[in-house]
């Protein structure tokens, strides 16, 4: 059992501006925990979370992966930051970047927040270099302009307002994620039925050569939540 | 507020910014140091991803001249410790 990251440093004022971890967050944590052995075997060099918000998810995967080398440092020293993986965390909301940073600090996880939309300035240098991609997107269907407006406002609504079918933001990233994933990379995405999960999976395989599985699903109140995991389809690693 | 490992991965992606878009330039430099656990295996694995000249230049701008101008072929402990410090412990704030 991997403990949920310590978020006691975040306050009600923070959660006025940044999405507070909820059922969708915890479902993603559970999916990562279920995959913990595969994730450790993968020994990722680079993990990239899009829309890291509180930083809870990246701090959690850092706990899973941990230090790849045990030091002989005496235990009475405070734990120093581990460095077996780089945990890049983007968020369009500047306050979310501050929360991600402090969550990393409080969990001995070296999270590197970058205040940008999606993969933004990382896309060029991370071409086919990312071993783990994590995205709990704004998936709630809204009127069309609401997703764009929320992204431009760079506030908390950007964490949920998803536009038509809740796919306004997610679709932009799905077009690019294949260029970021390394050949052994895996991509975890949270989705709801309104996003058309079968349609996403079919399109990602047909257009981008990424095959997927539904690794976890759960009902939480009115929401039915899914976690999808994408990997490169066999024989598709030379496209893109 | 960026560690040099992150700085080395950032390129300007503004539309039309097609030249001179990597690395990003520092402005009003201040530095913070934070200890990180030394992991030679990670460093060796990450070496191929580094744009070496950009890293050395960035480190020098921040006052650290410990890295050689050319990426060395022999990765001895002293080199790896310097690389570790520059990549993971120096933060531009």
Contacts of A200 (CB under 8 A, 6+ apart): A174, A189, A191, A212, A228
Give the number of other CB atoms < 10 A from CB of residue B27: 6
Q: How far apart are CA B56 and CA B68, in angstroms?
A: 7
Q: What is the pLDDT of residue A77?
A: 43
Model ipTM value: 0.92
Interchain CB distance below 8 Å, A68 and B39 = yes
Q: Is A46 on the interface with B (CB under 8 A)?
A: yes
- Tell me if chain A has a CB within 8 Å of the CB of B41: yes
Of the candidates B30, B16, B31, the one whose C-alpha atom is nearest the C-alpha of residue B89 is B31
- At A78 the pLDDT is 42
Residue A192, classed as helix, strand or coil, is coil
Q: Give CA separation, B64 vs B8, B55, B67, in Å.
A: 15, 11, 8
Query: How many of the other CB atoms lie within 10 Å of CB of A207?
Result: 12
pLDDT in tens, chain A (240 residues): 899 999 999 999 999 999 999 999 999 999 999 999 999 999 999 999 999 999 999 999 999 997 533 444 444 444 445 568 999 999 999 999 999 999 999 999 999 999 999 999 999 999 999 999 999 999 999 998 999 999 999 999 999 999 999 999 999 999 999 999 999 999 999 999 999 999 999 999 999 999 999 999 999 988 999 999 999 998 765 544
8 Å CB contact of B10 and A121:
yes
Report the alpha-carbon distance of residue A12 to residue A20 in Å, rounded.
9
Give the CATH number of domain A25-65+82-232; options: 3.40.50.150, 3.40.640.10, 3.40.109.10, 3.40.718.10.
Answer: 3.40.50.150
Q: Give the start-to-end residue ranges of the domains of chain B.
A: 2-92
| Chain B residues within an 8 Å CB radius of A71 | 37-38
Taking the CA of residue B75 and the nearest CA in chain A, the distance in Å comes to 18
What pLDDT score was predicted for residue A67?
Answer: 55
For an interface test with A, which of B42, B83, B90 has the most A Cβ atoms less than 10 Å from its Cβ? B42
Q: Which of A83, A125, A129 sits opposite B37 (nearest CB)?
A: A83
CA angle, residues A55, A60, B13, in degrees to nearest 5: 45
Q: Which residues of A touch B11 (CB under 8 A)?
A: 121, 124-125
- Contact between A67 and A129 under an 8 Å Cβ cutoff? The reply is no
Using a CB–CB cutoff of 8 Å, tell me whether A124 touches chain B: yes
pLDDT of amino acid A11: 98
- The alpha carbon of residue A203 is apart from the nearest alpha carbon of chain B, in Å, by 27
B contacts of A81 (beta carbons < 8 Å): 34-37, 88
Pick the CATH number of B2-92 from 1.20.1250.20, 3.30.830.10, 2.20.25.10, 3.40.640.10: 2.20.25.10
Closest CA in chain B for residue A125? B9
Integer Cα distance of A62 and A81 in angstroms: 10
Question: Is A189 within 8 Å of A137 (Cβ atoms)?
Answer: yes
What is the secondary structure of A42-104 as a DSSP string?
H--SEEEEES-TTSHHHHHHHHHH--SS-----TTSPPPBP-SSEEEEEESSHHHHHHHHHHH
Answer whether A213's CB lies under 8 Å from A159's CB: no
Distance CA A234, CA A19 (A): 37
What are the extents of the domains in chain A? 25-65+82-232
Which residue in B has a C-alpha nearest to residue A126's C-alpha?
B9
Q: List, for residues A43-54, the tens digit of each pLDDT value.
A: 999 999 999 999
- Probe site for chain A from B10, B32, B41 (most A CB atoms < 10 A): B10
Per-residue pLDDT tens digits for B41-91: 999 999 999 999 999 999 999 999 999 999 998 899 999 999 999 999 998
- The closest of A238, A132, A125, A118 to A184, measured between CA atoms, is A132
pLDDT of residue A217: 98
pLDDT in tens, B12-51: 998 888 888 899 998 888 898 988 889 999 999 999 999 9
How far is residue B67's CA from residue B79's CA, in Å, rounded to a whole number? 7
Judged by a CB distance cut-off of 8 A, whether residue A176 touches chain B is no
- Best of A117, A121, A176 to disrupt the B interface (most B CBs within 10 Å) is A121
- Out of A45, A114, A126, name the one closest to residue B46 (CB): A45
């Amino acid at each position: 059992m991997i403990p949920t990251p310590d978020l006691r440093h975040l306050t009600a004022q923070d959660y006025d501006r940044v999405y507070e971890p909820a059922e969708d967050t915890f479902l993603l944590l559970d999916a990562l925990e279920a995959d913990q052995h595969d994730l450790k075997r993968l020994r990722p060099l680079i993990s990239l979370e899009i829309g890291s918000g509180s930083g809870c998810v990246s701090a959690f995967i850092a706990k899973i992966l941990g230090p790849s080398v045990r030091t002989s440092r005496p235990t009475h020293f405070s734990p120093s930051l581990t460095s077996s993986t780089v945990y890049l965390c983007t968020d369009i909301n500047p306050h979310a970047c501050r929360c991600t940073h402090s969550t990393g600090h409080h969990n001995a996880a070296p999270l590197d927040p970058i205040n940008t939309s999606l993969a933004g300035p990382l896309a060029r240098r991370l071409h086919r270099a990312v071993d783990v991609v994590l995205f709990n997107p704004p998936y709630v269907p809204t009127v069309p302009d609401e997703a764009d407006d929320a992204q431009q406002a760079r506030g908390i609504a950007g964490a949920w307002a998803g536009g038509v079918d809740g796919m306004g933001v997610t679709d932009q990233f799905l077009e690019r994620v294949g260029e970021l994933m390394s050949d052994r990379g895996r991509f975890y995405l949270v989705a709801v039925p309104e996003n058309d999960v079968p349609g996403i999976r079919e399109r990602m395989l047909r257009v981008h050569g990424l095959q997927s599985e539904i690794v976890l699903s759960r009902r939480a109140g009115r929401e039915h939540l899914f976690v999808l995991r994408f990997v490169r389809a066999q024989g598709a690693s030379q496209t893109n | 507020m960026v560690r040099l490992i992150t700085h080395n991965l950032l390129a300007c992606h503004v539309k039309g910014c097609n030249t001179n878009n990597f690395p990003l330039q520092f402005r009003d430099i201040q530095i913070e140091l934070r200890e990180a656990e030394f992991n030679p295996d990670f460093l060796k694995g990450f070496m191929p991803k580094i744009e070496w000249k950009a890293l050395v230049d960035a480190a020098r701008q921040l006052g650290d001249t410990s890295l050689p101008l050319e990426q060395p072929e022999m990765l001895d402990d002293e080199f790896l410790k310097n690389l570790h410090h520059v990549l993971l412990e120096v933060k531009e704030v």
